[in-house]
Amino acid sequence: MMNFNYTKSIIVSIIIFILGCETIQNHSTNDPNIIIIYTDDLGYGDVSAYQKGTLKTPNIDKLANEGIRFNFGYASSATCSPSRYALLTGKYPWRKDGLRVITGGSLVIDTTEMTIPKLLKRKNYHTGIVGKWHLGLGSGDGVAGSGIIDYNSTISPGPNEVGFDYSHIMADTQDRVPTVYIENGDVVNLDINDPIEVNFFHQKKHDDYGLPTGLKNPELTTMKWHHGHNGSIVNGIPRIGYMKGGNDALWSDIDMADHFLQKAKEYIKRNKNNPFFLFYTLQQPHVPRTPHPRFEGLSGMGPRGDVIIEADWAIGELYKTLESENLLDNTLIIFSSDNGPVLNDGYYDDAVEKLGDHTPKGGLRGGKYSLFEAGTRVPFISYWKGKIKPGISNEMISQIDLLNSISKLVGLEYRSKDGIDFLDLILNNKGKGREELILEASTRTAYRKGDWVMIPPYKGQSIAKNVNIELGNSLDFKLYNLKDDPSQKNDLSKIEDKKLKEMIEGFVKIRGKEFSNIKNLILE
């Protein structure tokens, strides 16, 4: 008679084998893991695969050199909140009334709208976001930041109500209050006996509490504010807005990169046996730039260069985690940035003085906040080990197109109005990219078609003095040929009448005849 224990062990082994096979079947290459790595204010020339220079980004370069590097990849907007909205929904941000950079406002994605994570849940993906959110929280009149969010109870709606199963975020940006982490709607480590109070408009209320601000107490700051950032002081850094309480919940700025990386790694390990979508949204190199001490001075460019090196390291560590968990062969990675670069964006941190020969704009004109190319043309990379053949694409693609392309990838038929399915371009570097695209900066819009870019007339300052960036505002139409003039130095609007008329007509066809700020669109 066969030994009972031996027989039992055989049966157990067979069961384990079958379950293992089922796991592998359920997580086939037809349902790959998807990770979007999203940096904040990283310019076209800040990645050394795009612009060889002083600053080195070896881990991002690995993705670029072993994947597809898009030379004409675009964020939808030259500012962060609109770009994030467009990426997740596949819609132009200007279709959302009043969508600008959010400061303490309510959720701007309607809970009925389709999003990438909501779409993927149809295929039983687990979905998570780790890092910067900046799309508003709660409901109410909060687009302007009225302080109506109650951070002392579960905050809803938020990321979890628009498709994410798991969220570990900061609400807005590192330079804004509240300076706390929020996990699945709850402030992490909050002491209910030390409630959080936040407002963005009433310094007097803050003064009544006797709490210091950057404006009144510069001697208590370790980082000098340049413009706008003179509210509550947290960890020696003056912020936008005013905050009281929540002392046990306050984040450590220098540990933020490590913190978000750890949460991303934990998320991957928890969900490795089933398909997952991770939106890993790094805060670098947005201000305030607070590299961990082990990265200080490594770039020779001051804190901005140091935090880019820190971000590159974090991406390398995430890659190692995927490698150690044997997930690289079944994980599509998309890397990009929410808008173009800015040097001085609120603090004195030597970003300008120590720039040297580094060119964050990569030879393009403008930057963050701008309708010129450097506002929205950003690093854009697709990587999938063993599935994507290394290459360089000169086809035009936008982050708006990711929802439709991912839908196609997982075998779904949903398509957004503004996005295009470019899956073959992302995976195989085949096919044609976009022919035309609306570019946006702070609700102002421009139009690219083929090699041409048209910027309509806009009132307002031509240069944002605080940040020293050309905005693209002019009382006249501007027309540029990017093939012949990638730096947009030569305005051809006065000598290319037919082309200008064609561009205006194409622009109006998409944008509509009735829209704000443009009063003299003449088609005759």
Burial string for 184-193 (b: 16+ CB within 10 Å, else e) reads: bbebeebeee
Q: Is the dihedral of CA 496, 498, 499, 504 positive or negative?
A: positive
pTM of the model as a whole: 0.93
pLDDT at 516 over 70: no
Pairing of strands 380-383, 331-337: antiparallel
> Nearest Cα to 142, choosing from 159, 127, 157, 162?
157
- Digit-coded pLDDT (tens) for 339-370: 999 999 999 999 999 999 999 999 999 999 99
The pLDDT, as a whole number, for residue 141 is 55
The pLDDT, as a whole number, for residue 206 is 85
pLDDT bin (cut points 50, 70, 90) of residue 233 is very high
Give the long-range contacts of residues 326-329, CB within 8 A, separation 24 or more: 327/33, 327/268, 327/272, 328/385, 328/386, 329/385, 329/386, 329/387
- Digit-coded pLDDT (tens) for 480-509: 999 999 999 999 999 999 999 999 999 999
> Nearest Cα to 27, choosing from 120, 119, 125?
125
* Same-fold call for 35-196+245-437 versus 438-511: no
More confident: 228 or 30: 228
Distance of CA 441 to the CA centre of its chain: 15
- Digit-coded pLDDT (tens) for 56-102: 999 999 999 999 999 999 999 999 999 999 999 999 999 998 899 99
Q: Classify domain 35-196+245-437 at the CATH superfamily level.
A: Alkaline Phosphatase, subunit A (3.40.720.10)
∠281-282-287 over CA atoms, to 5°?
A: 130
Domain spanning 438-511 has what CATH number? Answer: 3.30.1120.10
Least confident residue range of 16-20, 254-258, 342-346: 16-20
Longest dimension (CA), the chain: 97
Distance of CA 277 to the CA centre of its chain: 15
Residue 524 neighbours by CB distance under 10 Å: 3
| Distance between CA atoms of residues 361 and 364, nearest Å | 5
pLDDT at 42 over 80: yes
pLDDT bin (cut points 50, 70, 90) of residue 518 is low
| Distance between CA atoms of residues 141 and 102, nearest Å | 12
Beta-strand ranges (E) seen in 29-137 are 33-39, 68-74, 126-132
Report domain extents, the chain: 35-196+245-437, 197-244, 438-511
What is the amino acid identity at position 427? L
Mean pLDDT of 405-410: 98
Structure tokens belonging to residue 444: 């102002």
| Distance between CA atoms of residues 325 and 333, nearest Å | 15
Write down the mean pLDDT value for the chain.
92
pLDDT bin (cut points 50, 70, 90) of residue 29 is low
